C-alpha cells in the first residue's frame, strides 16, 4: 500500500476514534477530561447552546463525516492499489474545512470558549486535506525536462 494512502486511512481512523470519544463526552456530560480553564473547555462549548445546526448535533456530523471520508478514500484509492485520489477527495475535504471555519467562528466569536476535542477534529480534517494535496503539489521533473529540451 502506498504511504499516502496508508497515512490517509490511519488519520481517518483517528478521526473516527476522536469523533466517538467527543460524542461520548457530549452525551454523558462527562466534561472533566477537557476542561482546562474557562476559555479552553469542552464543557463550556457543549453547554453553550451552540452545538447543533438545523437540529443536527455537531458531534453527529463527526460520527458520519470521518467514516464517510475513510470509506470514500479507501474506495477511490482502489483499496491501496493507487495513490489517494486527490481530485475526488480534495473538494470533499474542503467542504469539511468550510464547516470547520464556521465552527471556529462559533467558538471564537460567539461562545468565546475553545473546545480541545473539537479542535482535534478540525486538525484531523486539515491533516487529511494536507495528505490529499501532496500528490497535486508534486512536480513532475520529466515534464520540465521535456519542455526544456524541446525548446533548445
For the chain, give every domain's residue range. 3-138
CB atoms within 10 A of CB 21: 17
Q: Tens digits of per-residue pLDDT, 91-122?
A: 999 999 999 999 999 999 999 999 999 999 99
- Of 7-16, 58-67, 137-146, the range with the lowest mean pLDDT is 137-146
Those residues with Cβ within 8 angstroms of residue 62's Cβ, 6 or more apart along the chain or in another chain: 15, 18, 19, 22, 23, 121
pLDDT at site 1 = 47
Contacts of 144 (CB under 8 A, 6+ apart): none
Within 8 A by CB and 6+ apart from 78, the residues are none
The overall longest dimension of the chain from CA atoms, in Å, is 70
Would the pLDDT of 150 be above 90? no
pLDDT in tens, 40-71: 988 888 889 898 889 899 999 999 999 999 99
Tell me the fold of 3-138: de novo design (two linked rop proteins) (1.20.1440)
Amino acid at each position: 500500500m502506498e504511504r499516502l494512502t496508508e497515512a490517509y486511512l490511519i488519520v481517518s481512523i483517528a478521526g473516527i476514534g476522536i469523533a466517538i470519544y467527543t460524542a461520548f463526552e457530549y452525551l454523558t456530560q462527562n466534561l472533566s477530561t477537557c476542561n482546562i480553564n474557562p476559555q479552553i473547555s469542552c464543557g463550556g462549548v457543549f453547554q453553550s447552546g451552540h452545538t447543533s445546526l438545523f437540529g443536527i448535533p455537531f458531534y453527529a456530523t463527526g460520527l458520519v463525516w470521518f467514516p464517510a471520508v475513510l470509506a470514500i478514500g479507501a474506495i477511490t484509492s482502489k483499496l491501496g492499489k493507487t495513490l489517494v485520489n486527490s481530485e475526488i477527495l480534495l473538494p470533499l475535504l474542503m467542504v469539511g474545512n468550510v464547516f470547520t471555519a464556521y465552527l471556529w467562528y462559533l467558538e471564537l466569536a460567539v461562545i468565546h470558549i475553545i473546545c480541545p476535542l473539537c479542535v482535534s477534529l478540525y486538525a484531523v480534517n486539515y491533516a487529511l486535506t494536507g495528505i490529499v494535496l501532496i500528490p497535486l503539489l508534486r512536480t513532475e521533473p520529466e515534464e520540465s525536462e521535456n519542455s526544456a529540451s524541446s525548446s533548445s
